[in-house]
Amino acid sequence: MSEPTLNYLPCVDDGPGHRMAYWQWGDGQAAHTVVCVHGLSRQARDFDVLAQALVAQAAQSGAAIRVICPDVVGRGQSDWLANPQGYQLPTYANDMLTLLAHLKPQTLDWVGTSMGGLIGMAVCAHAAAVGASVRRLVLNDVGPVIQWEALARIGTYLGHMVPFGSLQQAADAMWAISTSFGPHTPAQWLELSRHMVKPLPDARAGVRLHYDPAIAVPFRTITQEAAAQGQAALWQLYDSLTAQTLLLRGVQSDLLSPQTAQQMTERGPHARLLEFAGVGHAPTLIAADQVEAVASFLLA
C-alpha cells in the first residue's frame, strides 16, 4: 500500500498560532484537488481507503489527482490550541482557507464527514477570498439541522481520555461507541483505529487517543436552545451553495434525520441523496459501495 506525505502549514489564531498537519496523496502538481475533512473526534487517516481509490481510478483514466486530508487543529498530527474556545467552526474554516491559499487548486472538490461537512459549507461561502471555488461537494451524514440526541450521545464520551494498554484494547473501546459506523471486519476496524491513538507521553507502555481533550470544552457549552438557533445560519450557508452536492446518509443515522435530508434535496443546491442501509452516523467511506459512490461523483 502506498503512503501519503505529511506536511505542515502555519495558521493564525488568537494566541501564538499553530501548525495544521495535512496528508497528501497522488500528484502534488495535479490540477484537480480533492480535500477530505474528518469528523469531530476523528483524524485525516480515516480517508486512506478513499484517497487511494481516487488516485488509482484517476490514473486508470489517464488523469492526475491530488487528495489532501488535513488533521483539523487539535487532532492527529496538528498542534493543540492554547485557548480551547478556539475549537469551533470559525477557526476550522479559517485554517482550511489558509490551506487553499497555499495549495492554489485549479479544480477543487470537497468531501466532509460530519463536522468536516459543516467546515466545507463554510469554506464554500468564503473560498473566493483566496481565489478558490468548490466545484463538487460531498456532505457525509450532516446537514443544517443536527439532532440534539446525537449531540447528547457524542457528549457522553468526547474528551474522556483514558490510557489503553495496547492498540487492540483502544480499538475495542472505540468500537463500543462506534457501532453506528456499520459493519467492519476486525482488520478494517483495527486499521481505522491505528491512527486514532498516540503513545503515552510519559514513556509508559500503552497508548491514548490522538486528540486534545479540550475540544470538548466549547462542545459542552452547547445547549439545545443554542443548537436550534444555529440552524437558521446553517440553512443560510446551505442555501448559498453553488457546488454540485452529493449528500450521503446512513439509514440509521441519529444525527441527520430523513426529514432534513429530504429538505436538502429540495432547496439550496438540491443535493442528490444516497443512503446506505445498515449504517448510522456516519459512513466511514471504506465499504466498496460507499467508495464507489464518492469516486464516481468526483471523477465523472
* pTM summary value: 0.96
Per cent of the chain over pLDDT 90 is 94
Q: What is the mean pLDDT of residues 284-298?
A: 98
Query: Which CATH number fits the domain that encloses residue 256?
Result: 3.40.50.1820
**Domain presence at residue 161:** no
At residue 201 the predicted structure's pLDDT band, cuts being 50, 70 and 90, is confident
Question: Total structural domains in the chain?
Answer: 1
At residue 232 the predicted structure's pLDDT band, cuts being 50, 70 and 90, is very high
In tens, the pLDDT along 146-171 reads 999 999 999 999 999 999 999 999 99
**Domain presence at residue 91:** yes
**Domain presence at residue 178:** no
**Domain presence at residue 39:** yes
**Domain presence at residue 138:** yes
**Domain presence at residue 179:** no
At residue 263 the predicted structure's pLDDT band, cuts being 50, 70 and 90, is very high
**Domain presence at residue 287:** yes
pLDDT at residue 2 in the model: 78
The domain of 293 spans: 5-147+225-299
Q: Is the pLDDT score of 202 beyond 90? A: no
pLDDT at residue 170 in the model: 96
Per cent of the chain over pLDDT 70 is 99
At residue 204 the predicted structure's pLDDT band, cuts being 50, 70 and 90, is confident
**Domain presence at residue 169:** no
Q: Is the pLDDT score of 1 beyond 60? A: no
What is the 3-class SS of the chain, one letter each residue?
CCCCEEEEEEECCCCCCEEEEEEEEECCCCCEEEEEECCCCCCHHHHHHHHHHHHHHHHHCCCCCEEEEECCCCCCCCCCCCCHHHCCHHHHHHHHHHHHHHHCCCEEEEEEECHHHHHHHHHHHHHHHHCCCEEEEEEECCCCCCCHHHHHHHHCCCCCCCCECCHHHHHHHHHHCCHHHCCCCHHHHHHHHHCCEEECCCCCCCEEECCCHHHHHHHCCCCHHHHHHHHHHHHHHHHCCCCEEEEEEECCCCCCCHHHHHHHHHCCCCCEEEEECCCCCCCCCCCHHHHHHHHHHHHC
At residue 140 the predicted structure's pLDDT band, cuts being 50, 70 and 90, is very high
Q: Is the pLDDT score of 183 beyond 80? A: yes
Q: What is the mean pLDDT of residues 168-175?
A: 96
At residue 205 the predicted structure's pLDDT band, cuts being 50, 70 and 90, is confident
In tens, the pLDDT along 27-60 reads 999 999 999 999 999 999 999 999 999 999 999 9
In tens, the pLDDT along 80-133 reads 999 999 999 999 999 999 999 999 999 999 999 999 999 999 999 999 999 999
pLDDT at residue 275 in the model: 98
At residue 249 the predicted structure's pLDDT band, cuts being 50, 70 and 90, is very high
